Amino acid sequence: DGGITQSPKYLFRKEGQNVTLSCEQNLNHDAMYWYRQDPGQGLRLIYYSQIVNDFQKGDIAEGYSVSREKKESFPLTVTSAQKNPTAFYLCASSILSALNTEAFFGQGTRLTVV
Amino acid sequence: KQEVTQIPAALSVPEGENLVLNCSFTDSAIYNLQWFRQDPGKGLTSLLLIQSSQREQTSGRLNASLDKSSGRSTLYIAASQPGDSATYLCAVTTTDSWGKFQFGAGTQVVVTP
- At B1-19, the pLDDT tens digits run 889 999 999 999 999 999 9
- Whether the pLDDT of residue A83 is over 80: the answer is yes
Per-residue pLDDT band at A39 (split at 50, 70, 90):
confident
Strand segments, DSSP code E, in chain B are 4-5, 10-14, 19-25, 30-38, 44-51, 56-59, 62-67, 72-77, 86-94, 102-103, 107-112
Position A9 pLDDT exceeds 90? yes
pLDDT above 90 coverage of chain A, percent: 76
Which of chain B's residues have a Cβ under 8 Å away from the Cβ of A105?
Answer: 36, 43-46
Q: Per-residue pLDDT averaged across B87-106, rounded?
A: 86
Residues A87 and A109: beta-carbon distance below 8 Å: no
SS3 call for B64: strand
Question: Is the pLDDT assigned to residue B27 strictly greater than 70?
Answer: yes
- Report the C-alpha gap between A44 and A37 in whole angstroms: 7
- Compute the distance between CA of residue A78 and CA of residue A13 in angstroms, rounded to an integer: 9
Select from A7, A51, A32 the least CA-distant residue to A94.
Answer: A32
* Top-confidence residue, A2 or A44: A44
CA–CA min distance A42, chain B (Å)? 4
Phi, psi of B82, deg, nearest 5: -55, -30
Identify which of B44, B99, B105 has the shortest CB distance to residue A50. B99
Whole-angstrom distance, CA of residue A111 vs CA of residue B30: 33
pLDDT range class, residue A1, cuts 50, 70, 90? low
Task: Look at residue A99 in the predicted model and tell me its pLDDT.
Answer: 64
Span B37-83, pLDDT tens digits: 999 999 999 999 998 889 999 999 999 999 999 999 999 999 999 99
User: Which among A45, A94, A105 is the nearest to B44, CB-wise?
Assistant: A105
Length of chain A: 114
Q: What is the pLDDT of residue B5?
A: 96
**Contact residues on chain A for B103, CB-CB shorter than 8 A:** 35, 42-44
Q: Are strands A109-113 and A10-13 parallel, antiparallel or unpaired?
A: parallel
Nearest to A83 by CA among A39, A52, A38, A113: A113
Three-class SS of residue B83?
helix
The chain B residues in contact with chain A (CB within 8 A) are 4, 9, 31-32, 34, 36, 41-46, 49, 51, 89, 91, 93, 98-101, 103-106
